[in-house]
C-alpha cells in the first residue's frame, strides 16, 4: 500500500485496519528476508497519510509480534535486552540511540504480555520484566508512538525508524536457542510441591546460611570470613543432598532443569569459566555460547539456584579484586592491563573451582554420615549428564592461552581470599556479571 491508496474513510477503525495491513507487509517481508520488499513497505508507512494514532498503534502491535517471534525462538526478556545492547556495540551505535532502542524493546515486551494469561507466566519471567522496568506506561495504544517520542526527545519518523530496525534485528539477527525455562502462552508445567514440614526445614536451612553470610560480610578478618562462607557452601551442598534424598524416597522428582545466564562484556571467557566451575561443584553442567554472550546450565532446581547465587557473588568479588590489583610492567616495560585482567579472572576461576570442590566434598562427607549416598548422588549426576548430553551433543571444549603470569598469580591470590557464598537472593533475571 502506498500513500496514493490511503483510504478516504475517516473512521478510526478503518484507518487502523489499513495501518495494520501496512505493518503486516513489513513483517511478511522480514520473514521472507525480502530486503527490497521490506524497504518498500517501510517507505509506504513513512509516506502514508493515515491518522498518526492508527499508525502508532499498528507500529506497537507489529513490534509486539516481533517480540513474540523472539520468545518463540526461546529468547527471554533479559537475554533480548543483552543481545540488543551487544548488537548496538558491534555496529557502534551511539549510547543515546542504544538507550532509547532498549526502552522501545521493553515497551514492546510489556505490550505483548497483555496477550498472555497470568497463569501462563512464571515468576522468573515476571522478575526479568520488572528488572528491565518493562511496563505499560501509556494509555491507549494510539498514544504510544507520540508519547515515546516526547519521553525521549524524538520525532515521529525517528521512532518509526527505530521500530522498523527493532523488527529487522529480531527477524534477521536472532537464532533459535535451546529451550530454557517457560515462556508465556501455555500452562506452567507442574512442579512437585514439598510438604509443609519440608518447606519449614528448607527455611531453617536458608536461615542458617543467611546467618553465616551475614557474619562473613560483617567481619573484618579475611580468615574468619572465609571460614563462615566455606561453611555456608557446605550447608548448600547438604541442602542439595537433602532434596536428592527426598526425591529418591518419593520415587522420583521433577528432574533436571535448564537455565541460561547472561555473560556480560568484558572478559567473557573467564567469566564463563567461573560459571562452569561453580556449576560443576554443585552438580550442574554449563556450556558457553561466546557469540551471544550466554551460558546455559543444566541441573536440578535447588542446585541451579545455588550456582546462580554463588556465581553472582563471586563475580562481584572478582571484579572488585581485579580492579584493585595493579598491572605491573613486565621486564620490557609493557603494561598490558587487558591481558593482566584476562589472566587474573582466569586464575580466579581456576582456584575458585578447587576451593568449591573441597567445600562441597566436606559438605557431602558430613551429610553422608549413616547414609548410603553413593547410589542417590550417582543417579542424580547421571540424570544431569544425560540431559546435558541430549541438549548439547555437538559441544566442543576449548583452551585459553594465559599470557600474563603476574595477572595469573594475582588472580589465584584473590580467589584464596574470596567468600564462597552470596549476599542475597538473586532477582530471577538470568543476568549476571
Domain ends where: 141, 173, 205?
173
Which pLDDT value is given to residue 400? 53
Per-residue pLDDT of the chain (433 residues; tens, 9 = 90+): 444 444 444 577 888 899 999 999 999 999 999 999 999 999 999 999 999 999 999 999 999 999 999 999 999 999 999 999 999 999 999 999 999 999 999 999 999 999 999 999 999 999 999 999 999 999 999 999 999 999 999 999 999 999 999 999 999 999 999 999 889 988 877 666 656 666 777 677 767 766 765 666 565 555 665 667 677 767 777 777 777 777 666 655 678 999 999 998 888 989 999 999 989 988 999 999 988 999 999 999 888 988 887 787 777 777 777 777 766 665 555 556 777 888 888 888 888 788 888 877 776 666 555 556 677 778 888 999 999 999 998 766 655 554 555 555 565 566 666 655 544 443 344 444 4
Whether residue 156 is found in the same domain as residue 217: no
Residue 375's CB is within 10 A of a number of other CB atoms, namely 9
Whole-Å CA distances, 328 to 333, 340, 341, 344, 345: 9, 9, 11, 13, 16
Nearest to 128 by CA among 184, 186, 171: 184
Whether residue 25 is found in the same domain as residue 121: yes
Whether residue 166 is found in the same domain as residue 201: no
Q: Has residue 364 been placed in a domain?
A: yes
Q: Has residue 189 been placed in a domain?
A: no
Which pLDDT value is given to residue 235? 76
Cβ atoms 317, 345 nearer than 8 A: no
Which pLDDT value is given to residue 7? 46
Range of the domain at 84: 3-173
Whether residue 202 is found in the same domain as residue 164: no
Whether residue 23 is found in the same domain as residue 135: yes
Whole-Å CA distances, 392 to 256, 280, 297, 336, 387: 14, 16, 11, 36, 9
Q: Has residue 317 been placed in a domain?
A: yes
pTM over 0.75: yes
Q: Has residue 185 been placed in a domain?
A: no
Q: In what order do the strands lie in the sheet with 431-432?
A: 285-289, 294-299, 257-263, 431-432
Cβ atoms 6, 19 nearer than 8 A: no
If DSSP codes are grouped into helix, strand and coil, which group holds residue 296?
A: strand
Number of compact structural domains in the chain = 2
Alpha-carbon gap, residue 155 to 145, rounded angstroms? 9
Q: Has residue 48 been placed in a domain?
A: yes
**Residue 60 corresponds to which cell in the numbers above?**
506497537
Cβ atoms 192, 254 nearer than 8 A: yes
Whether residue 225 is found in the same domain as residue 161: no
Which pLDDT value is given to residue 426? 39
Q: Has residue 393 been placed in a domain?
A: yes
Whether residue 269 is found in the same domain as residue 411: yes
Whether residue 393 is found in the same domain as residue 325: yes
Which pLDDT value is given to residue 263? 94
Which pLDDT value is given to residue 26? 97
Cβ atoms 363, 282 nearer than 8 A: no
Q: Has residue 248 been placed in a domain?
A: yes
Whether residue 214 is found in the same domain as residue 361: yes
Q: Has residue 25 been placed in a domain?
A: yes
Whether residue 201 is found in the same domain as residue 69: no
395 secondary structure, DSSP code: -
Whether residue 232 is found in the same domain as residue 354: yes
Whether residue 224 is found in the same domain as residue 331: yes
Q: Cell match 560459571: residue?
A: 275
Amino acid at each position: 500500500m502506498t500513500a496514493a491508496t490511503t483510504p478516504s474513510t475517516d473512521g478510526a477503525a478503518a484507518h487502523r485496519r489499513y495501518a495494520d495491513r501496512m505493518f503486516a507487509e513489513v513483517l511478511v517481508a522480514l520473514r521472507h528476508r525480502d530486503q527490497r520488499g521490506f524497504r518498500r513497505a517501510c517507505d509506504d508507512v513513512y509516506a502514508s497519510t493515515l491518522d498518526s494514532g492508527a499508525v502508532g498503534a499498528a507500529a506497537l502491535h507489529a513490534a509486539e509480534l516481533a517480540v513474540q517471534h523472539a520468545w518463540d525462538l526461546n529468547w527471554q526478556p533479559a537475554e533480548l535486552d543483552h543481545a540488543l545492547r551487544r548488537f548496538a556495540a558491534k555496529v557502534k551505535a551511539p549510547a543515546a540511540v542504544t538507550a532509547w532502542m532498549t526502552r522501545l524493546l521493553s515497551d514492546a515486551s510489556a505490550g505483548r504480555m497483555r496477550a498472555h494469561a497470568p497463569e501462563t507466566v512464571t515468576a522468573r519471567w515476571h522478575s526479568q520484566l520488572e528488572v528491565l522496568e518493562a511496563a505499560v506506561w501509556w494509555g491507549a495504544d494510539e498514544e504510544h508512538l507520540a508519547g515515546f517520542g516526547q519521553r525521549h526527545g524524538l520525532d515521529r519518523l525517528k521512532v518509526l525508524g527505530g521500530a522498523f530496525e527493532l523488527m529487522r534485528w529480531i527477524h534477521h539477527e536472532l537464532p533459535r536457542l535451546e529451550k530454557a525455562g517457560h515462556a508465556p502462552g501455555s500452562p506452567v508445567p507442574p512442579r512437585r510441591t514439598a510438604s509443609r514440614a519440608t518447606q519449614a526445614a528448607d527455611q531453617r536451612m536458608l536461615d542458617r546460611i543467611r546467618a553465616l553470610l551475614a557474619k562473613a560480610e560483617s567481619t573484618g578478618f579475611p580468615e574468619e570470613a572465609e571460614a563462615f562462607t566455606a561453611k555456608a557452601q557446605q550447608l548448600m551442598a547438604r541442602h542439595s543432598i537433602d532434596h536428592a534424598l527426598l526425591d529418591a524416597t518419593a520415587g522420583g522428582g521433577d528432574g533436571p532443569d535448564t537455565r541460561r545466564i547472561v555473560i556480560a562484556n568484558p572478559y567473557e571467557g573467564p567469566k564463563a569459566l567461573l560459571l562452569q566451575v561453580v556449576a560443576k561443584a554443585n552438580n550442574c553442567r554449563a556450556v558457553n555460547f561466546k557469540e551471544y554472550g550466554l551460558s546455559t546450565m543444566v541441573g536440578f532446581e535447588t542446585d541451579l539456584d545455588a550456582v546462580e547465587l554463588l556465581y553472582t557473588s563471586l563475580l562481584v568479588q572478582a571484579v572488585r579484586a581485579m580492579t584493585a590489583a595493579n598491572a605491573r610492567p613486565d621486564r620490557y616495560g609493557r603494561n598490558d592491563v587487558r591481558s593482566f585482567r584476562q589472566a587474573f579472572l582466569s586464575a580466579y576461576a581456576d582456584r575458585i573451582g578447587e576451593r568449591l570442590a573441597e567445600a562441597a566434598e566436606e559438605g557431602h562427607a558430613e551429610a553422608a554420615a549413616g547414609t548410603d549416598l553413593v547410589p542417590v548422588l550417582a543417579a542424580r549426576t547421571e540424570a544431569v549428564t544425560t540431559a546435558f548430553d541430549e541438549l548439547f551433543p555437538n559441544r566442543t571444549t576449548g583452551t585459553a592461552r594465559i599470557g600474563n603470569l603476574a595477572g595469573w598469580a594475582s588472580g589465584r591470590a584473590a580467589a584464596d581470599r574470596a567468600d564462597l557464598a552470596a549476599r542475597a537472593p538473586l532477582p530471577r533475571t538470568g543476568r549476571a556479571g
